[in-house]
Structure formats: structure tokens, C-alpha cells
Structure 1
Amino acid sequence: MFGSLLLGIATLLGLIYAFLVSNFGHWRRRGVLEPRVLPLLGSFPNIVWPRQHFTMDMRDIYMRYRNSHSYVGCFLLRAPKLLVLEPRLVYEIYVSAFSHFEDNDVSKMVDIAKDRLVARNPFVLEGDEWRRQRAVFSTLLTNGRIRTTHAIMQRVCRDLCEFISRKSEGGTELDVIDLGLRFTGESLFDCVLGIQARTFSDNPLPVVRQNQEMSAENRGLAIAGAACGLFPNLPRRLRPKIFPHSHDRFFGAMISEALRLRRSKHQERNDFINHLLALQKEHDLSEEDMASHAMTFMFDGLDTTSNSVAHCLLLLARNPDCQQRLFEELQEISSGGDLPDLDALIDLPYLSACFNESLRIYPAGGWASKTCTKAYELKGSHHSEPLKLRPGDNIMVPIYALHNDPDFYPEPDVFRPERFMDGGLKNFKQRGIFLGFGNGPRQCVGMRLGLALAKAALAAILQRFEVLVSPRTQKGTEIDPKIFVGVHRGGIWLEFNPRTI
């Protein structure tokens, strides 16, 4: 009896082991080097056992093989991924050969039948559908409509600075990740929905809490990621729901209420929600479609913009000379402390350089994953024969590693905004070594709005306050291994000293 039990356990363990390693060799059989890979853990063990952020595993592989290979074969748990190491090929995949790599791999993780709030989000759609929905969504983000939000941004920035003054009185340090979420939540709710979220008041809508449930505490996202890694060919209908039900209820109710109020008041304004209502008639959009288009702003902008603002403030606080130079640039166009005109703000060269340099050090996404949609021959400089990619092959781009490669960015840990001055941004993007907002036809659809919001927040804060690093903030630029989206380890705590204007 006991022997039979042991035999059964051994057989079961053998079957599990065989399953976990069954895909290993996928790339080797196609002539591609496979670095060391472990059962269950794959090529990026810290995704399961987070001693460091798993993008650091990608960086380690990148640094080990970048001078000898243009790409290597890796495994996300047991899902085969081609990790592209040569920047020229990265640009090729994003831009010049885009028609062969149109889909984002995240689309395989999301079942839009379960997660209706992203059913029209271009980022998660495939094939011709992403084109149709991006075309619809892009009409919401004209320069004219973004300009109409500037008055709202001015109001939100005043509230933000008053909140900082109130909460930092007596030298109290502030959690800047929380501060950034309050700012982006208030801005997006008012700009997109015409609703004031009251995030700087004592009775706010639970925007920050909802965001925490979606990102830091989202079990559905973790389960979906594990399912994709362990069962890469699992039918989409069997994928778990990613958005928490509380998220659906809260944002769904807010969007429905915003649409109801605007219809009842018959207001004609050149803003996002009015244009959504016009699009509903033109494209025969359902209420679900409308909610999903509105939610695209929230889904794509809350975390990314708030974290980018927080990281830029941290780096400026650590580099007082850069902070002073930026303050002087802001004073030149608005010496009275008011938020500059939006066009002037967007075009400020040193502000842009500071923001891009912070995105380099702390990219909003440390990696990207693309899917080959049409057969393509990838011709790496380090390989004698091209690699024949097939539809369905997955490509990983190690964004964090490219952004922190000392060959491209000497002293990569040093905050040096001058890198992005005088055409630096264009040069880095064309070389495939800067992907702060992605690149090519599928770069971030909300980039212009995100830049407008982030630059407004940074300008408003730095005009009113000198920003200092709190001793509570950890040194270095290490990313927190326990948070999926890249955030400075241990949080960002800063002090704000009022300036005399």
C-alpha cells in the first residue's frame, strides 16, 4: 500500500516535471541560444520568487549576451519568448517592420468578454479591431481638446499645491506616489468625465483606493499572468478576469453618471465627454463602448502618469542643480508663479529633457511583449543566418535594460537631462534605445495628454516649492520587486519647502 502511494506520488511529480520542461528547447531547435532556464521559474526566476524585480533578470541576460547575440530564446515560466537584444532590431519591430508585429502580446491575457471596460481599448485589441478603435479614440485627443483641459489643469494644480502646503506644514514628508495618484485621479476625472473626484479633500471619491485594488492588490492580474506563462495556448475564454468587480462597479457607475448629466444639461463644450456623445451618434456606439473609451483614459493614464511625476520629482530632489535650472526656466515664462500656457509648457526644452531622463531611469513599462502576426526574417548582426519568425511567435523587448545600457547612456544611474537636449530624444528613439512611450504606430495613444498632465504637475510644484529627499526614501534607483509596475523600492517620500516668489 505504502509502496503504491510512493509510486503514485513519483509518477505525479514526474508528469508535473515533464509538463514544466516540455517547451524547453523550443528556440534551440530553431538555432537560437537558450540561456539557463529552470523548471517552473523559467528564464526570469524573480517573477515567482521576487528578490529583485524580474526586469532585472532580463537586464542580466541582456548584459551577458548583448555583445555576442542579437537575440536569445527565453521562457516566461514555460511560455517561449524571443528576447531581442540588438537596438536596430527593436526599432525594426516597432517601426519599419511594424506590419509583421502589429499585436501586443497582452491581448492574449485579456478576455474582453469578461473585462468589458477594456473591450475598446486599443492597447489590448488585435488585428483590424485595434486600428478601428484607435482611429475612434485618436479623435478624442486632438490638440484643441487637450488645450480645453488647461483651465481644468490650472484648477487641479492650485488644489495640488494647496494640499502640499497643508500636509507638509512643519516639514512633514509626503508620500509622492500617493500625491501623484491624487493629481492624476482629479485631473482625469474632471478632464474626461466632468466630475470632480475631490482627491485633495477630506471626503474624496475612492480613486486612489480603486487604483491600489487594480495594481498592487490585484490577484486576478497575477493569476492571469501565471496562466499565460504556464499555459500559453490556453483558449481566451478560459482566461481569468483581470479587473476586480469593485473596479467595474465604481468606474462603470462614474462613467454612466457623467454621460447622464451631460445629456440632461445639453452642454455644448469642446471636451472629451461631449465628443464621446457625438461619436456615439456617428459610430452607433453602445453604452458599453462609450464606457470603455472613457475608461481607456483611466486605465492608460492613472498609474503611468502618477508614477512618472513621482520619479521625476525624486530625481530632481536628488539633483538640486537640475532642479534650480528647471525652476529658472519656468520663471522665464511665468515669473508670477502661475501655470504657464499649455503650448509654452509642452515646448519647454529642459522640462522635457528632465521628464524624458526620468522615464529613461524609471520607464513606465520595464519591458514590452509583441506578437509576430506575419512571417518575417529577423536579420541579426551577430548571426550568419536570419531567424525565420512565424505568426504567433512572441517577442520581448527589454526596455529597462536598453535604457540603462552604459554603452548608450554613460553612467546610466546618473540623472543627466542634457542627454535629451538638442535632438537627443529623436536620436535615441531612432536608434531603438528609448521607449518611454513605446514607438511606431502603436505607441501610447494618450501620450500627448499624459505629457500635458505630467508637465503641468511638475511645473506647478517646482514653481511653488523646493523639493528635498526625505531620509525615509531608499538610496539608489532599484525597482520594488513586489510591484508589477516599476516603482522605486520602498516608496518615494519627499519634503516640500515653500519658495518665496
Structure 2
Amino acid sequence: MFEVIVQAILVLMVLLLTILYFYLRRQYDYWKDRGIPYEKPTFLVGNLGRLLRISMFDFMLNLTKKHKTDYFGIFLGWKPVLVINSRKLAKKVLVKDFEHFQNRYSFPGHADDPLGALNLFTVKNPMWGTMRNELAPMFTSSRLKKLAELMNINSGELVRRIQADYIDNNKPVDMKELFSMYTSDTVAYTVFGLRVSVLKDLTSPLWFITQHMVRWTFWRGFEFSMIFFVPAVAAIMKLKFFSEPATNYVKKLFWDVVEERKKTNNPSNQDLLHLMLQLKENLKLPVGSDKELADNLMLAQAAVFILGSIETSSTTLSYCLHELAYHPQVQEKLYKEVSEAMEQTGKDILEFNDLLELRYLTACVKETLRKFPTLAFLDRVCNRTYQLTDDVTIEKGTPVYINVHAIQRNEKYYPEPEEWKPERFVDSSTDNDNHDFTFLPFGEGPRFCIGKRYGMLQVRAAIAQMVMKYRFEPKDPYNVETDPYSVILGPKGGGKIKFVLR
């Protein structure tokens, strides 16, 4: 009897494997059958065989160098994905025909992870549209002007921290960690109205959260990779967008601040928490919604803003200073621009409007974002069958990746694309200029990054003060390895330069 059971199980396993084999074989012919060039897949993993061995930044960059067509196919596991290299086709997906591509492909989260499921980055329409409209007032010019004052204070602390740690005590530099501290201090006030400074005294409730969010271990890299690239696996494994400690601490801090304001009757109308509490009172939720939905929506936006603003800005600062260190002539030109602005205004610290007028500084930041976009792709999923070109029909449920690398390193738009040349952007009019869809580090269309102006401002404020105090000299090799565990771009080891007093 036992032998019969064993034989039956073996037969069943062979049958299931046979079915799986023919299913995957059919799937892997998907692009071939449609006459679309594609990257040859490997059984089960598709084109993700080197996942967590190389970064997604390098993965997309390698595909960019290999495929020069307007579009091509890849396989994330067994799922066929269309990759778009063309700015014109990108415009159709992101803007012109947005109604066909309203949502991201990444795992939308589950009930056990409301902060991951309901944040502005992952949440699906129509809830996404509601939250987007409600959060927009957080980034008006009047609010950003007030935040610029705090960013300048924190930039001053950043300058002093560099003096104490890396000049006086000769500690090894970890730029990613250093700039995560700076952005963490700014976010503490932006989200919770807390004036704290990990740069100044090493105590900050936000720094605990930040360390869990931006330190990429193998496991966190695996979680994010599955969430972004293989949502089916993420759903089965119930993977979370934010780690358990970070989730719990965000919740505790949020409600502690709320209770403190109730006791002191001292509300702040400038931070995200205040905006969220107002939203909760007026938000029209779907009929039959869980009573905790409104609370979870608030917490989710706070959490994703912390992650987004800290991770992206600290990365951009790290790569920008690395390039400045290797381009001393550019660095001196930047120093001259900032010093002349201070002389003309008669100020020791440049304010909101002054920072916006620094065209060469803005050009340095934009050129960094062109060469080192924090996300190498923009993911969307087709919600109904769509005719992209005369030859390409995208079926409902098919993911589409806008290949930011292919567009921003296209030599037709940017000659010598591997070179870092801020002059490309000196005549750029505003932060919202996408250069006819050849500059997409913040995305574009209705789902563009809502914190774009905030991020650009805090990067400007930090660089303006650092360049006045220090020269930046090379420490790492010019071609810095990227962190293979991080889905969001980051330099392996944090990135290092030498700070030298002027």
C-alpha cells in the first residue's frame, strides 16, 4: 500500500512538472510569437537570474546597452514585460494614454501590511487619485519656503558634523549614512513637526526608523525585489513593503505626537501629520470600508514620505559629491556661483528663492539625476488592451517598464552620455522641465513624484553650504559599485570622498 501511494505521488509530481514545463515554454515564446525582440529567459527565473548579485540599476543599464530598439521584451520570472526605450512611446504610456496605465505593476500589499498597501506609491486607483489630490497642498511654494529655513539649519549641522567627524577625528566617510542623517532631520519636522537632530546630538526618533528603511540587507533586498518584480511570490509569502520594526515605530511616533498635541492644544499647520488629520475628517471612504482604513491611510503616507525623501535625496547627494570630487573645475565654478549669490544678497545663508536662482547648482543636480536616476525604470500595468504602435498591441494585465536609462543615456539627446556634464542643463527653465521626455528621474504624468520640488530643495540647500566650506576630493574609484541588495540606487559601501577645508 505504501509503495502504491509513493508511486502515485511520483506520477502526480511528474505530471505537474510536465504541465509547468509546457506552460513556461509557452510563456517564454510570448514575445517571439509577436515578433518583438526579447531577452532570452532562463527556466523559472526568466531574466532575473542575477537578482541580488547585481543591482537593478546595473540590470537595466546592461539591457540598455544590449537592446537599441524602441521596445523589447523581458521576463520577470514567467511574466512577460514590455520594456520601452523611446521617449515618444514613454509619453504615450505616462501621459497621453494614462487611462490605460493608471497603476504600477508592483505588489499592492495585503491586509497585514496596510502601510505598504495604502501608500501613495503602491495604492491603486481610484484611492490613489483621492490621496494624490489631498496631499498636493503639502508641497506649495509657501510651505517649501518655510521648510527651506529648516533645511538651511540642518545643512549647517551637516557642515559642522563633517568638520567634527571627517576632518578633526579623521573618521572614514560613509556619504549615504551621512546624508541620510541630514534628510532624516528634515523629514522629522516635515512629517511630525519635530525639531530634532541626529547630526547634532545623535538622538532622533526618526533615525531609528530611517536605519530600518535605508539599510539594505539580503532579506530586505529580496523582499523589495519580489514586491517590485514578482508580485505573485510577494503575495504568497506575504512580504512587507516596510520592515516590522519600522512599521511599529512609525505608528507609535505618529500617535504619540497626536496625543501630545491634544494635551498641549498646540497644533502645527505646517507638517504632514496635521494635513493627514484634516484629511481624515473630510475623507469620503468607500462604502463598507474597515473603520481603521482612514488611520492606515494616514500612517501609510507618513511612512512612504519618510522612505522616499530620505532614500532618494541621500543617494543623489552622494553621487553628486562623488562627481564634483572628480571634476574640480566644475566644483570651482559651482563655488563661484554660490559665493557670488551670497555677496549679491548680503546673506550668509541662501533662502528659498535664492537657492532656486542657482542655475549651475541645479544643473549639477539634474545631471546627477540623469546619469544616476534613483529608479532605473518606471513600472505600469496595462488595465485594458492597448494599441501602442501599428505593430505592437499590449494585452490587458501586461506590465510595461519605461527604461529611464535608455532615454537618459541616449546619445541622440545627450552626446557622450557616460560623461557627467552639468552644462547640459544650465538653460533648464524649472524643476518641472522634462526636456521633451528625455529627463524622467521623477517620472512624468499624473503619477510623477509628488515630492520632486521638496527633494530638489533639500539637495540644493545641503550642497550650497558644503561647497562654501569644503573642497571635495576623490576617495573611491570613479566607477563606484552599486549596492546589489537595493532596488533603489545606492553606492556600495555608502560612497566615500575627502572633505578638505577651503
- Contact 1:121 1:296 (C-alpha < 8 Å) held by counterparts: yes
From 283, 289, 295, the counterpart of 2:297: 289
Match of 1:139 in 2: 137
- Contact 1:79 1:231 (C-alpha < 8 Å) held by counterparts: no
Mapped pair 1:351 → 2:361: yes
User: In the aligned structure 1, how far is the partner of 2:302 from the partner of 2:209?
Assistant: 16
User: In the aligned structure 2, how far is the partner of 1:337 from the partner of 1:168?
Assistant: 27
- In the TM superposition, what are the counterparts of 1:13-24 in structure 2 within 5 Å? 17-18=21-22, 21-24=25-28
Mapped pair 1:45 → 2:23: no
User: In the aligned structure 1, how far is the partner of 2:431 from the partner of 2:278?
Assistant: 36
Match of 1:418 in 2: 423
From 304, 310, 324, the counterpart of 1:302: 310
- Per the TM alignment, residue 245 of structure 1 is displaced from its structure 2 partner at its CA by 1.1
The CA deviation string for residues 113-142 of structure 1, in whole angstroms up to 9 with x for no partner, is: 222224542221112111100001112222
Match of 1:371 in 2: 381
From 116, 119, 125, the counterpart of 2:114: 116
Helix, strand or coil at the partner of 2:297: helix
User: In the aligned structure 1, how far is the partner of 2:494 from the partner of 2:466?
Assistant: 19
From 454, 460, 467, the counterpart of 1:462: 467
The CA deviation string for residues 247-286 of structure 1, in whole angstroms up to 9 with x for no partner, is: 1111111111222223333335440233333333333784
From 34, 38, 59, the counterpart of 1:30: 34
User: In the aligned structure 2, how far is the partner of 1:496 from the partner of 1:299?
Assistant: 27
Helix, strand or coil at the partner of 2:387: strand
Residues 423 and 181 of structure 1, relative CA distance in 2, 3 Å threshold? closer
Match of 1:442 in 2: 447
Report the AA paired with residue 213 of structure 2: M
Match of 1:194 in 2: 193
- Contact 1:357 1:415 (C-alpha < 8 Å) held by counterparts: yes
- Per the TM alignment, residue 194 of structure 1 is displaced from its structure 2 partner at its CA by 1.6
- Contact 1:156 1:186 (C-alpha < 8 Å) held by counterparts: yes
The CA deviation string for residues 28-58 of structure 1, in whole angstroms up to 9 with x for no partner, is: 233323332111331243225x2x3344343
Report the AA paired with residue 26 of structure 1: Y
User: In the aligned structure 2, how far is the partner of 1:320 from the partner of 1:458?
Assistant: 15
Residues 477 and 419 of structure 1, relative CA distance in 2, 3 Å threshold? farther
Mapped pair 1:276 → 2:280: no
Match of 1:129 in 2: 127
The CA deviation string for residues 278-314 of structure 1, in whole angstroms up to 9 with x for no partner, is: 3333337843333223223213211111111111111
Residues 179 and 337 of structure 1, relative CA distance in 2, 3 Å threshold? farther
Match of 1:382 in 2: none
Mapped pair 1:398 → 2:398: no
Report the AA paired with residue 434 of structure 2: K
User: In the aligned structure 2, how far is the partner of 1:487 from the partner of 1:220?
Assistant: 14
- In the TM superposition, what are the counterparts of 1:82-231 in structure 2 within 5 Å? 82-106=82-106, 109-170=107-168, 171-205=170-204, 207-208=206-207, 210-215=209-214, 216-217=216-217, 219=219, 222-223=222-223, 225-226=225-226, 229=229
User: In the aligned structure 2, how far is the partner of 1:419 from the partner of 1:98?
Assistant: 29
Report the AA paired with residue 53 of structure 1: S
The CA deviation string for residues 334-361 of structure 1, in whole angstroms up to 9 with x for no partner, is: 1477320112202321111000001111
Helix, strand or coil at the partner of 1:405: coil
Report the AA paired with residue 476 of structure 1: N
Residues 195 and 450 of structure 1, relative CA distance in 2, 3 Å threshold? same
Percent identical residues: 23
Residues 477 and 432 of structure 1, relative CA distance in 2, 3 Å threshold? farther
- Contact 2:227 2:234 (C-alpha < 8 Å) held by counterparts: no
- Per the TM alignment, residue 101 of structure 1 is displaced from its structure 2 partner at its CA by 1.3
Larger mean CA deviation between 235-244 and 10-19 belongs to 10-19
- Contact 2:379 2:402 (C-alpha < 8 Å) held by counterparts: yes
The CA deviation string for residues 180-206 of structure 1, in whole angstroms up to 9 with x for no partner, is: 100010110022212244311454236
User: In the aligned structure 2, how far is the partner of 1:374 from the partner of 1:4?
Assistant: 45
- Contact 1:45 1:57 (C-alpha < 8 Å) held by counterparts: no
- Per the TM alignment, residue 6 of structure 1 is displaced from its structure 2 partner at its CA by 13
Larger mean CA deviation between 122-131 and 178-187 belongs to 122-131
Residues 57 and 120 of structure 1, relative CA distance in 2, 3 Å threshold? closer
User: In the aligned structure 2, how far is the partner of 1:231 from the partner of 1:277?
Assistant: 32
- Contact 1:256 1:291 (C-alpha < 8 Å) held by counterparts: no
Helix, strand or coil at the partner of 1:409: coil
- Contact 2:115 2:300 (C-alpha < 8 Å) held by counterparts: yes
- In the TM superposition, what are the counterparts of 1:479-498 in structure 2 within 5 Å? 479-498=482-501
Larger mean CA deviation between 78-87 and 422-431 belongs to 422-431
User: In the aligned structure 2, how far is the partner of 1:241 from the partner of 1:268?
Assistant: 32
User: In the aligned structure 2, how far is the partner of 1:422 from the partner of 1:105?
Assistant: 35
User: In the aligned structure 1, how far is the partner of 2:9 from the partner of 2:295?
Assistant: 58
- Per the TM alignment, residue 246 of structure 1 is displaced from its structure 2 partner at its CA by 0.5
Report the AA paired with residue 25 of structure 1: D
Any stretches of 5+ residues in structure 1 without a counterpart?
Answer: 380-384
Helix, strand or coil at the partner of 1:159: helix
Helix, strand or coil at the partner of 1:287: helix
Residues 228 and 334 of structure 1, relative CA distance in 2, 3 Å threshold? closer
- In the TM superposition, what are the counterparts of 1:323-362 in structure 2 within 5 Å? 323-335=331-343, 338-362=348-372
Residues 428 and 20 of structure 1, relative CA distance in 2, 3 Å threshold? farther
Match of 2:289 in 1: none
- Per the TM alignment, residue 156 of structure 1 is displaced from its structure 2 partner at its CA by 1.2
- Per the TM alignment, residue 161 of structure 1 is displaced from its structure 2 partner at its CA by 1.2
- Contact 1:469 1:495 (C-alpha < 8 Å) held by counterparts: yes
User: In the aligned structure 2, how far is the partner of 1:159 from the partner of 1:253?
Assistant: 27
User: In the aligned structure 1, how far is the partner of 2:231 from the partner of 2:167?
Assistant: 53
- Contact 1:46 1:54 (C-alpha < 8 Å) held by counterparts: no
User: In the aligned structure 1, how far is the partner of 2:162 from the partner of 2:153?
Assistant: 14
- Contact 1:372 1:390 (C-alpha < 8 Å) held by counterparts: yes
The CA deviation string for residues 70-118 of structure 1, in whole angstroms up to 9 with x for no partner, is: 2112101222100112221112211222222111112xx1315222224
Residues 125 and 227 of structure 1, relative CA distance in 2, 3 Å threshold? closer
- Contact 2:188 2:206 (C-alpha < 8 Å) held by counterparts: no
- Per the TM alignment, residue 208 of structure 1 is displaced from its structure 2 partner at its CA by 4.6
Larger mean CA deviation between 340-349 and 21-30 belongs to 21-30
Report the AA paired with residue 168 of structure 1: Y
Match of 2:287 in 1: none
- Per the TM alignment, residue 416 of structure 1 is displaced from its structure 2 partner at its CA by 0.4
Report the AA paired with residue 418 of structure 1: E
